Structure 1
Amino acid sequence: MSLALGVLGGMGPAATLDFLTKLQAHTPARRDQDHLRVLVDINPQVPDRNDPLVRPGPVLAEMAVGLRQAGAEVLAIACNTAHAHADEIVRAAGLPLVDMIQAAAVAARDSGALRAGVLGTRQALKLYREYLAAQGMGLVVLPPERQEAFMALLYRIKSGDTGAEVRAEMAGFAAELEAAGAEAVIAGCTEVPLVLEEGVIRTPFVDAGDELARRCVAVCLGLESVAAV
């Protein structure tokens, strides 16, 4: 029997659906019954993780408790920035968490890169700096004014704009990281893969949501432990 997965989602909704599609794609299955049981809380009312004046942690913790009560045995968060509240979530639910940022950092290390560029929010960048350092890697980020432009682009994607102009602008941000010395680029926000995919840039592209999906399947099927790196 596989473990039931609880997903904290809705940050944003389209990114959560993208993660669930990847989860299904990575599951080895010949019939319905071979797939994982997945309990998902798509809650767009979680306070903005990028606003320092609000506290999303208690809302996320409450979601995690609800997922446990519904039958979840292991958790995943379909949002990079929300991992800043991972400790609060785990304490509240008493369940193990498959860490998206750890999964992405390990994938970047395994690509052979020594420096990884990350397209993510400021809070996510703080987390990635720590996780990449644990893998012996350096972090490459956009300069402050370009980070501001990146954030504006994220909110355009959240509003539903995934057109050619947005895709070109996101590819441009990735190219800037490469030019600054990144040997791999991590999509460190779950909106990024909605408009950027492997092959658009020269360096290895790490989709944190895709890496999380792979790890969740392996953990729920008992092929890896949650603590595996």
Structure 2
Amino acid sequence: MKKFFTIIGGMGTQATESYVHLLNKRTPAHNDQDYLNYILVNHATVPDRTAYITDPENNPSPLPPLEEDIQQQSKLGPEFFALPCNTAHYFYDQLQSVTDVPILHMPRLAVGAIAKKFPHARKVGLIATKGTLKDKVYDKEIADAGYEIVHPTDEIADETMDLIYKGVKEQDYVDPKLYHHILNQMVNELGSDVVILGCTEISVAEERAGNHDYPVIDAQSELVDESIRLAEKMQKNKAS
């Protein structure tokens, strides 16, 4: 197979399934051959990213298996990598250093979408795993773009972890009331002009329990759109 991209997934599997579902759903296809060429690596046994970032002395690092995945897949010649796990972007620079194949930067894509979709936004809220909150990957991107970041309170952060881990990861379940409650607090209590959904399990919640008017930027959705844009571009180049 030529002119394809590789998805390094499995972090978690339901979130990766959501990414692939959106990818295929949004691809303008009328027959089998119109869909995109990609390889999916569902590496479910990669150690938990948040556990390592928050307590590295007592938890295994996800970096070695992710580096191995990138190096193995690079030998096959993908045009780019998609990494549908926000917290894993803590290792972005190390992963990019082991390959010449570009890795899409999901947090950067999410922040870059704010100006287009919410041009008057100034205060950008973030809901994510505690690992992503601690590693501050989004903090830098948001600050560099000229926005003020709104962090969740400890209570909101705990509720978000419950939504992610006790709901989606453990039971493949989304509690719509909890999800909407979190968004309500970020917007109406903390004053966020827009809220970034900085975890792919939260993207699962958005997909299944959206139906709201809160201003959000779904990081996974932005990754899907950029994946399609680049894949369609390389297919056109192949055809010409």
* TM-score, normalised relative to structure 1: 0.88
Tell me what 1:5 maps to: 5
Of the structure 1 ranges 127-136 and 7-16, higher mean CA displacement relative to structure 2 is found in 127-136
Q: Which runs of 5 or more structure 1 residues have no equivalent in the other structure? A: 224-229
Larger relative helix fraction: 2
Name the count of aligned residue pairs: 221
Contact 2:14 2:172 in 1 (8 A): no
Q: 1:89 aligns with which of 72, 90, 95?
A: 95
Contact 2:86 2:107 in 1 (8 A): yes
1:169 deviation in Å? 0.8
Query: What does residue range 197-208 of structure 1 map to in structure 2 within 5 Å?
Result: 197=207, 200-208=211-219
1:2 deviation in Å? 8.0
Provide the C-alpha distance between the structure 1 equivalents of 2:211 and 2:143, rounded to a whole number of angstroms. 26
Tell me what 1:131 maps to: 141
Provide the C-alpha distance between the structure 2 equivalents of 1:70 and 1:129, rounded to a whole number of angstroms. 34
Query: What does residue range 130-169 of structure 1 map to in structure 2 within 5 Å?
Result: 130-156=140-166, 157-163=168-174, 166-169=175-178
Provide the C-alpha distance between the structure 1 equivalents of 2:77 and 2:48, rounded to a whole number of angstroms. 27
> What fraction of aligned residue pairs are identical, expressed as a percent?
29
Tell me what 2:237 maps to: none
Contact 1:2 1:220 in 2 (8 A): no
- Paired residue secondary structure (1:202): coil
Distance 1:18 1:199, change over 3 A: closer
Q: Root-mean-square deviation (CA), in Å?
A: 2.0
Query: What does residue range 202-217 of structure 1 map to in structure 2 within 5 Å?
Result: 202-217=213-228
* TM-score, normalised relative to structure 2: 0.84
Q: Which runs of 5 or more structure 2 residues have no equivalent in the other structure? A: 235-240
The one-letter code of the counterpart of 1:78 is P
Provide the C-alpha distance between the structure 2 equivalents of 1:28 and 1:66, rounded to a whole number of angstroms. 30
Contact 2:123 2:150 in 1 (8 A): yes
Which entry has the higher C-alpha Rg, 1 or 2?
A: 2
1:146 deviation in Å? 2.7
The one-letter code of the counterpart of 2:179 is M
1:127 deviation in Å? 1.1
Contact 2:50 2:132 in 1 (8 A): no
Contact 1:109 1:137 in 2 (8 A): no
